[in-house]
Chain A
Amino acid sequence: MNAEPLLVIDDLVVEYAAKGFGKKPFRALKGVSLDIRPGECVGLVGESGSGKTTLGRAVLGLAPVTEGSVRFKGKDISHLKRRERRALADEIQVVFQDPYSSLNPSLTIEQTLAEPLRVQNVSAADASKRIRGLLDQVGLPSNSADRLPREFSGGQRQRIAIARALALSPQLIVCDEPVSALDLSTQARVLDLFKDIQEETGVAYLFVSHDLAVVRHLSHRVAVMYQGEIVEYGDGGIVTSAPEHPYTQRLLLAAPVPDPVRQEQRRADRRRLLDSQRDMEVQAGVA
């Protein structure tokens, strides 16, 4: 297996122009560095406004890169023209959070799945065969092809979105909160599907989520984002169970455990942690 990173993000800054003349632009990412190896899943965890979604969109070319670089297989892809960007379609793909708005309601599943294939000039017959294969791969019945998105539940729609991402056999899929809108039991099944597909195809994931447990389940390495910066980055098991950074510690203890006895314990731990962090801040202020 190739040890060279597939994707290298180096000191990335993304700024959005603020509304109104002469106002300072909003800095969504403040110098973020990250790398993903082939076949690896890197989890990106953070709360709303932390910039995790922006980082995913910058990799996809959907967010404006102000400084720094995004290199894919050694090539800088941060400032591509529309045409050059389109050529990357068979290497970098996406699965979005909302399975309701990520599928065009007026196109059948076959039309949606055929779209990326048609762009690559795949013949109609081959595309049709490929679509049956994709539906099978994501665990949907082959007669789904003629149906419209509204016929499917949230979990099934997310499977369709995964099939679309897989259509061109990419090497990297950016997954932006792909299971956040799903029910608990559906979420577990879709996560297993992500895992199976990765083991089968060797695709790499940049897996964005707000849920530490979800990220822990799927990621080889985990990066924690806070206010546009990565505050902790390392082995998934360690970052999600014994974190070093104060914010990650707070994040970990904030999630309630589904067990009344242990949750009582965790609540006490969280209180203690918040108190000690507050004390440290006070001391730092004095010093």
Chain B
Amino acid sequence: MSESATTPTPDVATEVRAARSHVGRRLLRNPTGLAAIIVLTVMILLAIFADVLAPMDPSKANIQDVLAPASDAHPLGADSAGRDVLSRLLFATRFSIAGALWAVLIAAVIGVTSGLLAGYYQKWFESVSVWVVSIIQALPGIVVLLAARAVIGPSIWLIMAVFGVILAPAFYRLTYAAVVGVRNELFVDAARVAGVGDASIIGRHILSVVRAPIIIQAALLAGIGIAVQSGLDFLGLGDTNVPTWGQMLSDAFSRMYQAPILLIWPSLAIALTSISLVLFGNALRDELERAAGKPKKRRRGAAAYVPDASGPAPVTHVEDGDDARSVLLQVDDLVVGYDQPGGGVKQVVNGVSLQVRKGEVHGLIGESGSGKTQTAWSILRLLPDGGRIVGGSVSFDGKDLAHSSENEMVKIRGRRIAYIPQEPMSNLDPSFTIGSQLVEPMTVALRVSRAEARKRALELLARVGIPNPQRTFDSYPHEVSGGMAQRVLIAGAVSCEADLIIADEPTTALDVTVQADILDLLRDLQNDLHVAVLIVTHNFGVVADLCDRVSVMQDGRIVETGPARSIFRDPQHPYTRSLFDAILEDGAARGPLAHSADRNTLPERSAR
């Protein structure tokens, strides 16, 4: 992406400010989230305004009203002691929710604080807290609660405080894991260098990252808190002076045969609240994940997208002479697009045409976002989710790959077209030996026996310059260096005698001395095997080293194409020229620091 890609306009700032609360707003648009928020809001309002809303004192017993049915005086009837059920329900809402929130608050304060401290400072605090947390988690929670009840008596607040301590490890582990993930981020280091104090760093940079998961965890734990608290009260271990849902349930349960309807109200309240809390947590998690970007699936039968492949034709350099080699890969007007959440298609390749002849090395060069990798992936039909070829054709040895079925592609990938990736390590499976990853494809693609494949693999490893093939064959990927891993992948790419190798920035992740070795290897192999190579790169040095032909890409189009020597000698397109101008290789050195008049400060030269 070029620097001028996001040209700021005056209204951008306001858009951004509006978008900042986007998770909150999207949560309200999510039907589950909205329903959960409405139920929870109603519950909280009822709890707050219980005094105002309740028609009478929740504890006032009236012997005449025992188990009274619903009437004007008692809209939901009366319980076994003749107390008004509606009033009790409203006050129970207050105490049940407050009890659960109290437990969650205590758990959050203890868990989040210790998690932040342990994660940020580590050292002894981490060791101690890990021990404490493990001990707490090893204790059976409900037994501890029953024991605590026996010691401290039937106080809802004290019991819930104890429960909060039992819940704290859940917050601790969550926070600790998040902090350890963030503390080595460069922006934390930058803040430290900027002189920001530790408290400020934790508050601003670290807490903001762990905030959302903490809210989700709190919602889930509040649900558990309500259930446990109701359970204790249902068992009759609670404070009888404080009405709660659990006590109402307990009371109703004892009169189940006389007034079964009494069971309904507390059950309904417990169920609605717990379900809403869980759904709220889930909806928030879904929206946070969606914020990371997930395109909607294309609907079947949706209006066909009309690709736009218009644009100026590329500058084409004339061939030095007749090239008798036949065309192996012919790409015409290729358009690649990504389905957008809104329904449209975003084009990333806008009509690319290129040819690769048999035995030729073709370089596809461009800056990030130019569509060079997308072009390579679409030839292999390995575009990420949501991406597809929306126009044009890819003809490989007379076969149209753009319209081949997945089954047909499986037969072509690896056997006819091989692939060398940018990141060698992430393209080797860490749980299998390098040898088995080389042998397996050969037994399938070449239909040779395992012993034969094994022999060939060892030969290939020696051929790609690995000093001890047998040892590398038996190694796991993490036991070899990045340069060795890339040699292994190159061995894999040539193992099945493919006609075309697509190499996507094969040396970008490597050190420059290793890169030179890999370039030498690629050139030698190409000379020996006469395989065609399409190499994607951003480095003109790599192109100069390897390529017969070059195509320069910008904004999803090829702007200039032709024999490499001709383009390097005489670039025509202004964009190609600007790239050449940006190359530092031939620039003048800056020279020693001026103004340092003192002779002693002339740069000393030392070579050890």
Residues of A participating in the B interface, judged by any CB pair closer than 8 Å: 1, 3, 37, 39-41, 47-48, 60-62, 82, 85-90, 92-94, 96-98, 101-104, 106-107, 112, 115-116, 119-120, 141, 143-144, 146-148, 151-156, 161, 164, 167-168, 183-189, 191, 195, 210-214, 216-221, 229-238, 240-241, 243-245, 250-251, 253-263, 267, 270
Contact = CB atoms under 8 A, between A and B. Distances in A.
Given A183-B2, A240-B589, A93 B516 contact: no
Given A104-B205, A260-B565, A146 B16 contact: yes
Contacts of B16: 146-148, 151
Interface in B1-54: 1-3, 5-6, 8, 10, 12-13, 16-17, 20
A112 B201 CA distance: 12
B190 A258 contact: no
Contacts of B13: 143, 146-147
Interface in B182-222: 185-187, 189-198, 200, 204-205, 208-209
A258 B568 contact: yes
A188 B584 contact: yes
Interface residues of B, number: 78
A94 to B, nearest CB: 5
A131 B586 CA distance: 36
Contacts of A167: 194
Contact of A86 (B2, B195, B209): B195
Interface in B482-531: 511-513, 515-516, 519-520
Interface of B: 1-3, 5-6, 8, 10, 12-13, 16-17, 20, 185-187, 189-198, 200, 204-205, 208-209, 367-368, 511-513, 515-516, 519-520, 538-545, 564-565, 568, 578-593, 595-598, 600-601, 603-608
Given A116-B194, A147-B16, A256-B539, A3 B608 contact: no
B603 A221 contact: yes
Contacts of B582: 184-185, 187-188
B290 to A, nearest CB: 15
Contact of A231 (B10, B205, B587, B607): B607
Contacts of B593: 37, 39-40, 220-221
A263 B596 contact: no
A58 to B, nearest CB: 13
Nearest to A147: B16
A107 B542 contact: no
Interface centre among B581, B586, B591, B603 (most CB of A within 10 A): B603
Contact of B515 (A185, A213, A218, A254): A254
Nearest to A254: B516
A233 B606 CA distance: 6
Contacts of B193: 60-62, 89, 92-94
Contacts of A261: 565
Nearest to B13: A146
Interface centre among A98, A101, A243 (most CB of B within 10 A): A101
A3 B596 contact: yes
Given A115-B196, A183-B368, A251-B512, A229 B584 contact: no
A82 B578 contact: no
Contacts of A101: 185-187
Contacts of A234: 603-607
Contacts of A260: 544-545, 564-565, 568
A183 B124 CA distance: 44
B198 to A, nearest CB: 7
A212 B441 CA distance: 40
B591 A220 contact: yes
Contacts of B581: 188
A229 B585 contact: no
A1 B195 contact: no
Contacts of B3: 153, 155-156, 186, 189
Nearest to B16: A147
Contacts of A40: 593
A106 B2 CA distance: 23
Nearest to A92: B193
Contacts of B519: 256
Contacts of B190: 94, 96, 102, 161, 164
Given A156-B3, A185-B367, A98 B590 contact: no
Contacts of B10: 143
Given A183-B1, A214-B584, A236-B591, A263 B607 contact: no
Nearest to B564: A260
Give 10 closest A-B pairs by Cβ, nearest first.
A89-B195, A256-B541, A237-B589, A258-B540, A234-B605, A116-B194, A254-B516, A102-B186, A183-B367, A155-B3
Nearest to A120: B195
Contacts of B1: 153-154, 183
Contacts of B205: 104, 107
B197 A216 contact: no
A3 B601 contact: yes
A261 B590 CA distance: 26
Given A62-B193, A154-B368, A220-B593, 20 more contacts: A37-B601, A40-B593, A61-B193, A101-B187, A141-B8, A143-B12, A148-B20, A156-B3, A164-B190, A168-B194, A188-B582, A216-B590, A235-B603, A236-B589, A243-B607, A245-B608, A254-B513, A260-B545, A263-B541, A263-B544
Contacts of A257: 541, 544, 585-586
Contacts of B2: 153, 155, 183, 185-186
A235 B193 CA distance: 29
A97 to B, nearest CB: 8
A213 B582 CA distance: 12
Given A103-B187, A184-B582, A255 B512 contact: yes
A119 B194 contact: yes
A209 to B, nearest CB: 11
Contacts of A161: 190
